Structures are given as C-alpha cells and as structure tokens.
Structure 1
Amino acid sequence: MLTDNFGRRFYYLRLSITDVCNFRCDYCLPEGYQCDHDRDFLSFKEIQRIARAFASLGTEKIRITGGEPSLRKDLPEILAACKTTPGIKKLAITTNGYKLSSQIHDWKDAGLDALNVSIDSLDPRQFHAITGHNKLQEILSGVDQAVTLGLSQVKINTVLMREYNGSDIDTFLNFVKETPVTLRFIELMQTGDNQVFFNKQHVQGSRIKQQLVLDGWLPVIKEKSSGPAQEFYHPNYKGKIGLIMPYSKDFCASCNRLRISALGKLHLCLFADQGLSLREHIQNNDPAPLIAAISSLLNDKKASHFLHKKLTGATKNLSMLGG
C-alpha cells in the first residue's frame, strides 16, 4: 500500500490522458486551449502500464481526466483497459459533457462505474457565457442517460463564482430535489493564470454548509476511496449536495489521491511545485522500475498544499491535470 510520511494511504489515482479542452471556461481557459508543448500524450500501452503499477501498490480507484478526455478517440479502449486491471474496483471519469449524450453507452459498456460532469450553471445563457458552448440541455440529457444506465455514481461539479452562480444556490437545490445525482459545489481555486479572477470571484463554501445544516441536511459517511468532498443528504431530496472546500482547515489531512499528467509526470499534489517524470519507467512491460520510482517519490509529498499563502506551484490552469 502506498503510504506517505504522514500516514496517509493512497487508494485513488487521477490519470489525465490529454490536457486539451474544447471549452473556454472563464476560471480555467478563458482564451481557450493554448498548447505550449509537444502533444506527446501518454500512449495506450503507457496508460496500461501505469494502471497496473498503481494497482499493484494498492490503488483501487482510477479516475480518467483531462483536459477533456473524450477528445481522445481511444477513450473507450482506455476505460476498458483500466477497469480490467487486476485490483481496480472502481473506474470513474470527469468530463465537460460535450460528447456525453453520444458516448455514455460506450463508456458504460467499457466498464465505467462513476461519472462527474462539470456544469457551472443551470441557466442556458449563463452556461454559454461561461463555457463558450450552447450545450446545456444536451449535456443534461446525457446526465439523465447516465442515471438511467445505472452508473453507481453520477455527480455534477459546479465551481462557485460570485458573479456567475454564487447567488443562485436555490436553483441547484431545486434541481437535486427531483434528480438523483450528487451536485458538488467546488470553491474556486487560485492557479497561476487566474489570480485577478480568483480575487474577484472566490466564494467560501462554509456559508453553504452552514445553511445546509440549518435546513436539515445530514452528512454522508465517506468511503475510503472517496475524494475530499463533504457530502450531505436530505430525506426530502432525491439527490445529494457535496462541498469541496480546499481553503478549509485540515482539508489535506484525508488526502488519498495521486495524479499523473497526460505527459507522464507524477504530481504529488494538484499544486505541487513540479511534476516528477515517470516516462522513462514506462517504456517496457517490466513494472518494477515504475513501482520503485512511485514509492520513492512519494516521500516528497508535503503535509498540505500552500494555497493559503497564494502559492499555486506548477498549476497554471486546472486543465493541466483535470483538477
């Protein structure tokens, strides 16, 4: 089992397969995707080798991320390879939903268990303004299909932004009253490219949590491979509410995930100073060098991120690692 110097165990790998994204969300890629490197993304074989190595070290959950992972034509094959890796119990994906309605059946057939879809507004005009795409209703149709297909978890990720959705919480609550999904409010995080936007738009999730508790929402018991969200349920609602508050006290104490970038670098934290290259260890089928490298590099993992000090490390924008 992968365990760091602070006793945290890592059951969960977030594996990016591309940093390309076709949305231009204001908090992430307001000018659209700008490539500053060769697009030498992880190959199918390299992804297989990474999955096997992490599974042998106790990883039980893999989440495929981007950029936007559905922009890779071999996504179904990647999903199937990860799900059939011995030791992997849960396979998830995070997507902007652009191809969700047309591809969700293929993803489910490939072994997908859990789906996260980024939807920052339930108002079509606001959604278009944030993302640059008039696709909200189509994406929501894809969410409905995922629920109907019986995925074990369907979640919607909503980044809180003061002027975009910060005063529209009731609309989201009304949505989960009749929709059996978990809607997760995510505090806007500062990255290398969004400091001015962050200062203007950041909303604390703690005030939403206080209101939920006052309104009778109750905490959900977390699984060991769950992410950092605090989730709540209410007997009168079909869906749940989650809160991801990276600026809250002890947020990193329960960290259980590691990240691999689409360029084959291990990121010990979303806001680590640099990615640590593993590519030289995944060029053949011998897993021993890769396993040894991962185990050794984990010794460098810090107790916490340094967002409170406005230190964002190597993360210029969230599409680099998929959050």
Structure 2
Amino acid sequence: MLQDAFGRKFYYLRLSITDVCNFRCNYCLPDGYQCDHDRDFLSLSEITRLANGFSQLGTEKIRITGGEPALRKDLPEIIQACKGTDGIEHVAMTSNGFNLLQKAKDWIDAGLDSLNISIDSLDPRQFEAITGKNKLDDILAGIDKCLTLGLTNIKINSVLMREFNQHDLNQFFDFVSKTPITLRFIELMQTGNNLEFYNAQHVSGQQIENTLLEKGWRLTTRPKTAGPALEYQHDNFAGKIGLIRPYSKDFCSTCNRLRVSALGKLHLCLFADEGLSIREYLDSDNSLALQNAIREMLAEKKPTHYLQQGHTGATTQLSMLGG
C-alpha cells in the first residue's frame, strides 16, 4: 500500500490521457487550448502497464481525465484496459460531455463504472457564455441516456463563480430534487494564469454548507476511494449535493489520490511545483522499477497544497491534469 510520511494512504489514481480540450471555459481556457509541447500522449500499452503497476501498489480506483478524454479515439480501449487490470475495482471518468449522447453506450460497454460531467450552469445561454459551446441540451440528454443504460453513478461538477452561476443555485437544487445524480459545487481555485478572474469570481462553499445543514441535509459516509467531496443527502430529494472546498481547514489531511499526466509525469499534488517523470518505466511489462520509483517519489509529497498562500505550483490551468 502506498503511504506518505504523514500517514495518508493512496487508493486512487487520476490519470490524464490528453491535455487537449475543445471547450473554452472562462475559468480554465478562456483563449482555448494552446499547445506548447509535442502531443506525445501515453499510449494504450503504456496506460495498461501504468494501471498494472499502480494496482500492485494498492490502487483500487482509476479516474480517466483530460483535458477532455473523449477526444481520444481509443477511449473505450483505455477504459477496458483499466477495468481489466487485476485489483482495479472502479473505473471513473470526468468529461465535458460534448459527445456523451453519441458515445455513452461504448463507454459503459467498455466497463465504465461512474461518470462526472462538468456543467457550470443549467441555463443554456449562461452555459454557452461560460464554456463557449451551445451544448447543454445535448449533454443533459446524454445524462438521461446513461441513466437509461444503467449507469447510475453520475455526478455533475459545477464550479462556483460569483457573477456567472451563484444566482442559479435554486435551479441546481430543483434539478437535484427529481434527478438521481450528485451535483457537486466546487470552489474556484487559483491557477497560474487566472489570478484576476479568481479574485473577482471566487465564492466560498461555506454558505452552501450552512444552508444544507439548516434545511436538514445529512452528511453521507465516504468510502476510502472517494474523492475530496463531502456529500449530503435529503429524504425529499432524488439526488445528492456535494461540496469540494479546497480552501477549507484540513482539506489535504484526507488526501488519497495521486495524479499522472498525459505525458507520463507523476504529480504528487494538483498544485505541485513539478511533475516527476515515470514514463521511462512504462516500456516493460515488469513493473517493479515503476513501483520502486513511485514509492521513492511519494516521500516528497507535502502536507498541504498551500493554496491559501497563493501557491499554484506548475498548474497554469486545470486542463493540464483534469482538476
């Protein structure tokens, strides 16, 4: 089992398979994707070896991320490779959902266990203003299709922004009242290129948490492979509400996840100062060297992300590692 110097155990790998994204979200890629490197992303065989190496170190869950992972034509094969790895019990994916309606069945048939879709507004015009894409209706139809196909572990991620969606919270709650999904409010995080936007738009999730507790929502139990969200449920709602508050006290104390970039670099934190290359260990089916390298690198993991001090590390924008 992977364990760091602070006693945190790591069951969960977030694996980016591309840093390309076709949306232009105002908090992440307002100018669109700008490539500053060769697009030599991890191959299917490298991903298979990576999943095997991590599974032998106790990893039980892999989340496939981007950029936008659905831009890779071999996405079903990647899902299948991760799901077919001994020890990997859960394969999840985070997507903007641009082709969800067309591709959902392929992903589910490949073994996808759960899906997170980014939707920052349930108003079509506001959604387009945030993302640059008029796709909300298609994405919501794709979520309905997933539910029809039996994929019930679905979450919607919504980044809180003062001017763009804070006033839409009742619309989100109405949606959750009748839709059996989890809607998660995420505090906007500062990155290397969004300081001005962050200062203007950041909203604390504390007020939402207070409202939930006042209205009888109950905190649910988190499994050991869960992400950072605190999830709440209510008897009168079909769905759940989640909160991800990276600026809250002791947020990092329950960290259970590591990240690997699409270029084969291990990131000990979303806001680490650099990625540590492990790609050179992915050219052989013998994963012992990979496992030893990961264990050695994990010794450098810090106790916190230091976001409160304005430290953003090497993360210039969230599409680099899928957030």
Q: Tell me whether the two structures share a fold, i.e. TM-score over 0.5.
A: yes
Of 169-178 and 142-151, more deviation after overlay is shown by 142-151
Letter in 1 for 2:267: H
For residue 154 of structure 1, what is the aligned residue in structure 2? 154
TM-fit CA distance, 1:306:
0.7
Q: Are 1:64 and 2:58 an aligned pair?
A: no
What is the number of residues matched between the two proteins?
323
SS in structure 2 opposite 1:167?
helix
Q: Distance in 1 between matches of 2:227 and 2:266?
A: 18
Q: Which residue of 1 aligns with 2:105?
A: 105
User: For residue 306 of structure 1, what is the aligned residue in structure 2?
Assistant: 306
Q: CA RMSD in A?
A: 0.6
SS of alignment partner, residue 300 of structure 1: coil
Task: Specify the code of the residue in structure 2 equivalent to 1:4.
Answer: D
For residues 275 and 17 of structure 1, the distance between their equivalents in structure 2, rounded to whole angstroms, comes to 15
Whether 1:201 and 2:207 are equivalent positions in the alignment is: no
Could you tell me which residue of structure 2 aligns to residue 230 of structure 1? 230
Distance 1:257 1:101 in 2: 29
Alpha-carbon shift at residue 176 of structure 1 (Å): 0.3
Aligned to 2:292: 292
Deviations 1:245-266 (A, max 9, x none): 0000000000000000000000
Over residues 214-235 of structure 1, what are the superposed CA-to-partner deviations in whole Å (9 max), with x where a residue is unaligned? 0111101110000010100000
The question of whether the paired residues in 1 share the 8 Å contact of 2:264 and 2:278 is answered with yes
Q: Which residue in 2 is equivalent to 1:218?
A: 218
What's the CA shift for 1:121? 0.3
Q: 2:265, 2:277 within 8 Å by CA — same for their partners in 1?
A: yes
Q: What does 1:232-311 align with in structure 2 at a 5 Å threshold?
A: 232-311=232-311
Cα distance in structure 2, aligned partners of 1:119 and 1:5:
36
In the aligned structure 1, how far is the partner of 2:149 from the partner of 2:299?
41
Alignment map for 1:96-175 (pairs within 5 Å): 96-175=96-175
Structure 1: distance between partners of 2:101 and 2:124? 17
Q: Percent identity?
A: 64
Task: Supply the distance in 1 between the matched residues of 2:151 and 2:295 (Cα, whole angstroms).
Answer: 32
The residue type equivalent to 1:322 in the other structure is G
Displacement of 1:168: 1.4
Cross-structure match for 1:15:
15
The match for 1:47 is 47
After TM superposition, the score normalised by the length of structure 1 is 0.99
Alpha-carbon spacing, 1:89–1:152, altered in 2? closer, same or farther (3 Å): farther
| SS, match of residue 225 in structure 1 | coil
Q: What letter matches 2:208 in structure 1?
A: I
Question: Corresponding residue for 2:3?
Answer: 3
Task: Summarize deviations over 1:195-244 as a string: whole Å, max 9, x none.
Answer: 00000000000110000100111101110000010100000000000000
1:181 aligns with 2:176: no
Secondary structure at the aligned position of 1:180 is classed as: coil
How far apart are 1:283 and its partner, in Å?
1.4
CA deviations 1:104-152 (Å, max 9, x no partner) are 1000000000000000000000001111110100000111111222225
Q: Distance in 1 between matches of 2:228 and 2:36?
A: 31
Asked if 1:75 corresponds to 2:53, the answer is: no
Contact 2:152 2:181 (C-alpha < 8 Å) held by counterparts: no
Q: Distance in 2 between matches of 1:125 and 1:274?
A: 37
Aligned counterparts of 2:143 and 2:116: Cα–Cα separation in 1:
9
Instruction: Give unpaired runs (5+ residues) of structure 2.
Output: none
SS of the counterpart of 2:157? Answer: strand
| CA 1:152–1:53: 2 relative to 1, 3 Å | farther
Deviations 1:21-45 (A, max 9, x none): 0000000000000000011100111
Whole-angstrom distance in 2 between the partners of 1:117 and 1:283? 33
* Aligned counterparts of 1:152 and 1:301: Cα–Cα separation in 2: 34
Deviations 1:153-176 (A, max 9, x none): 100000000000012111100000
For the 8 Å contact 2:97–2:117, the answer to whether it is kept is yes
Amino acid at match of 1:165: N
- Which ranges in structure 1 are unaligned for 5 or more consecutive residues? none
Distance 1:205 1:109 in 2: 36
Q: Aligned partners of 2:161, 2:169: CA distance in 1, in Å?
A: 11
Normalised to the residue count of structure 2, the TM-score between the two structures is 0.99
Q: Supply the AA of the counterpart residue of 2:277.
A: S
1:62 match: secondary structure: strand
**AA matched with 2:235:** P
| Runs of 4+ in structure 1 over 4 Å off | none
